[in-house]
Amino acid sequence: MKPISPRALRHRLIIGGAVWALAAGTALSAEETALVEGWRFVREDVQGAQAPRFDDAAWSSVVVPHTYNAADSGIGGAKARGEPEGVYYRGPAWYRLSLDHAPEPGKRYYLHFGGATLKADIFLNGRAIGTHEGGYAAFRYDVTDALRAGRNLLAVRVDNARNTRYAPLNGDFNIFGGLYREVKLIEAPDLHIDLLDHAGPGLHVRTASLADGQADIAARVLVKNDRRSSAQFEVVTRIIDADGATVAESRTPTTLEAGRGQAVEQTLRLAEPKLWEGRRSPYLYQVKTEILVDGQPIDSAQALLGVRTVGLNAQGQFTLNGQPYALYGANIQMPTRFGKGPIVTDAEIDEDMKIMADMGVTALRLAHMQHPPRVYEEADRLGILLTTEVPLIDDMDPSDHFRENLVQQMRELIAQTDNHPSVGLWGIGNELRTSGDAANRLLAALQSTAKALDPGRPTTYAHCCLDDDDSIAQHSDTVSYNRYFGWYWTEAKDIGPWADELHARMPNRPIGVSEYGAGASILHQEDPVMRRPVADGYWHPEQWQTSFHEVHWRELGARPYLWSNFIWLGFDFPSFKRNEGDRPAINDKGLVTEDRRTFKDAYYWYQANWSDVPMLHITSRRDVNKRIARVKVKVFSNQPQVRLRLNGGDWATVPVVDHAAVWDIDLASGENVVDAVTEVDGRELTDSVRWTYRTNP
């Protein structure tokens, strides 16, 4: 095994959305080595694999990030039909990496893991460094005393098997095992901003108050003195605007005893601040904190700042900067790509976020666990509000350890993402299928933890499968409901009366809809006569999903007392529990296919309703072989009218009513072309479809 040199791969540390760097000529701040190449891997449990002299020559060579389930997770099975659930490997695997190290006096060294599912045991030079339980948050260890000069051996045992000690225990998704996010070796000075703050950045900023043309910004800087003697230093924090100008500054002289840590609290006042106003204007400042010794910077951290407040008003509505702000959008499951699982690039995450932004969302629900840092960073930039939650999904274990593990995962989630202005609410769980003392104790612990760590943000819980007002739905500041009227039960239109009845019964409780959706295969087309599909069946026509969402948004959009409305879901994704639609092991309720190549018609329905960018889209474009001559042309648009023509004939002007224009036509035998056009500010938007009708098939 060829060792990797930390010096060869060093670059600036990006953490919590901030870049750690100092100006040229100053002392170094924390630096990182990305541990990417040179890993050896085996997908089995091996005795003694943590030992430096263990022979791993027969193991595979991999790069990290890496998952060991990329190729074996395409088999699905539906219990509802008596099938066994899909099978993919859930168990232990080992990673080993040899790296060179040249220690420097006055430095501390940390191993950073961006995510390892679900349990990771870390060994360095045969020494047990620590065990992390929970697959979706980052974690770190101080390995200064375990690192040697010269060759070092890092060994990691990862296990994605179900374990009642930690969450999640269940879920409608695959749990991809492995070191599926980055691994880094971080070097920091021995007087430094604390890197062991639940793997957070050690710098936390928030809008403490906002009124009368000014904002007070609270900064909390965690400093650790790992020197052998006390240290005198100054903590300097600046707020820098988008033009690079310093607009506020705070200086705090501090003395810290050897081996101690301290939180330095600072308040910075901004005059006439530019607000982070969601999609309308997501203005971002930068906060930079430095530790100065004798006037010279030795360590620094940065974070983006969006000046804004969030909350709830007396009507149960979500508020942004004190004003009601409607949250509507989609659920996003953990970002994956076919054949790669969760090994996605920043560019692929950016693509997902742009697709949702182009649809016109104001918010996204990140289901059902902490997502990669890039998701939060892009949401900040795009002005998309987020709900983000711990992986308490469906099932729980009544043990103290399980509860303590979820509390730990909540602490990690908040420490690692609370600087993001896009994070609007903390989610404490999803669809617990049981109530009772243990469930209530668990949710109470998660609620109290979130409020203690971040009292300024509301909490929420996604409820399903028990009575709407069950005790487990009463812990969070808000409650939202996963409701699938028109797919799993009754009719789509029933969601409106259900919401009205619930609101009347709980008028002072902020309620929302956290999931609603229907499956759709772009290979399945059925027009004009639609039959309601069987939810777990093989026939999921796209037109049913479109009609489902038309009805749902007309019902939900008319009820402003709902604090949230989230579609299930943005993108199709892998699920071993499913064997339905046009292929197994996929949840096809997405508005966009898993490969991101096809936007289903329902996507454009929401774009017509939500986006201010002029748009035009003819539906049923994949239903190319018509069965009858008399058909309806349906066009989604956010313009007042469209012009339509068939086979180059005369144009007909059709009004757009509630974002849809409908035109009856008679197809000719053979190929037919339908054109649509609308004028916007002197330019034309156009769309067309080709349909074939055969009189004698």
Which residues are CB-contacts of 311 (< 8 A; sequence separation ≥ 6)? 318, 319, 322, 456, 458
Measuring CA to CA, which residue among 332, 326, 321 is closest to residue 354?
A: 332
Within 494-646, residue ranges assigned H as helices are 495-505, 542-556, 601-610
What SS3 state is found at 313? coil
Q: Are 549 and 606 in contact (CB under 8 A)?
A: yes
**In this structure, which amino acid lies at residue 373?**
P
Measuring CA to CA, which residue among 135, 104, 141, 108 is closest to residue 122?
A: 141
The per-residue pLDDT for 17 is: 30
Sheet containing 683-693: order of strands = 625-626, 683-693, 670-680, 641-646, 652-655
DSSP 69-90: -SSS------GGGTPPPP----
Please state whether the peptide bond connecting residue 320 to the residue before it is cis, i.e. omega within 30 degrees of 0.
no
Domain ranges in the chain are 6-189, 203-305, 310-613, 625-693
Q: Are 381 and 356 in contact (CB under 8 A)?
A: no
d(CA 96, CA 58): 12
Which residues are CB-contacts of 83 (< 8 A; sequence separation ≥ 6)? 77, 579
**In this structure, which amino acid lies at residue 417?**
T
Beta-ladder partners of 288: 238, 302
d(CA 220, CA 13): 20
Encode pLDDT of 233-266 as tens digits. Answer: 999 999 999 999 999 999 999 999 999 999 999 9
Class of domain 203-305: mainly beta
The per-residue pLDDT for 570 is: 98
Dmax (CA) for the chain in angstroms is: 93
Whether 203-305 shares its CATH topology with 625-693 is answered: yes
Tell me 254's DSSP state: E
Measuring CA to CA, which residue among 508, 456, 459, 464 is closest to residue 483?
A: 464
Active site residue 431: yes
Pairing of strands 459-463, 479-482: parallel
- What are the strands, taking DSSP E only, across 116-171? 119-124, 127-133, 139-142, 150-159
Token pair 């930079």: residue: 288
d(CA 108, CA 144): 6
- pTM greater than the 0.75 cutoff: yes
Pairing of strands 60-62, 39-42: antiparallel
d(CA 205, CA 306): 9
Reported as type and span, the H/E element at residue 350 is helix 346-359
Q: Are 217 and 241 in contact (CB under 8 A)?
A: no
Catalytic residue among 431, 550, 580, 594: 431
Measuring CA to CA, which residue among 255, 242, 222 is closest to residue 287?
A: 242
Token pair 């035109």: residue: 663
pLDDT, averaged per 10 consecutive residues of the chain (697 residues), comes to 37 30 37 96 98 97 97 81 87 97 94 98 98 98 97 98 97 96 97 97 97 95 97 98 98 97 98 97 98 97 97 96 97 94 97 98 98 98 98 98 98 98 98 96 98 98 96 98 96 97 95 98 88 93 97 98 97 94 95 97 98 98 95 97 98 98 97 97 96 85
Measuring CA to CA, which residue among 634, 680, 167 is closest to residue 409?
A: 167
The per-residue pLDDT for 338 is: 87
Beta-ladder partners of 178: 117
Q: Are 312 and 458 in contact (CB under 8 A)?
A: yes
Q: Are 353 and 591 in contact (CB under 8 A)?
A: no
d(CA 301, CA 251): 15
Please state whether the peptide bond connecting residue 168 to the residue before it is cis, i.e. omega within 30 degrees of 0.
yes
The per-residue pLDDT for 77 is: 85
Helices vs strands, H then E, count in the chain:
7, 41
By residue count, the chain amounts to 697
CA distances from 127 to 130, 158, 342, 389, 538 (A): 9, 16, 30, 34, 52
649: exposed, middle or buried (C-beta count within 10 Å: 0-12, 13-18, 19+)? exposed
323: exposed, middle or buried (C-beta count within 10 Å: 0-12, 13-18, 19+)? exposed
The CATH architecture of the domain made up of 625-693 is Sandwich (2.60)
Class of domain 310-613: alpha beta
**In this structure, which amino acid lies at residue 604?**
Y
d(CA 96, CA 46): 12
The CATH architecture of the domain made up of 6-189 is Sandwich (2.60)
The per-residue pLDDT for 697 is: 56
d(CA 272, CA 293): 33
CA distances from 568 to 107, 330, 364, 621 (A): 48, 6, 11, 23
The per-residue pLDDT for 76 is: 85
Q: Are 430 and 480 in contact (CB under 8 A)?
A: no
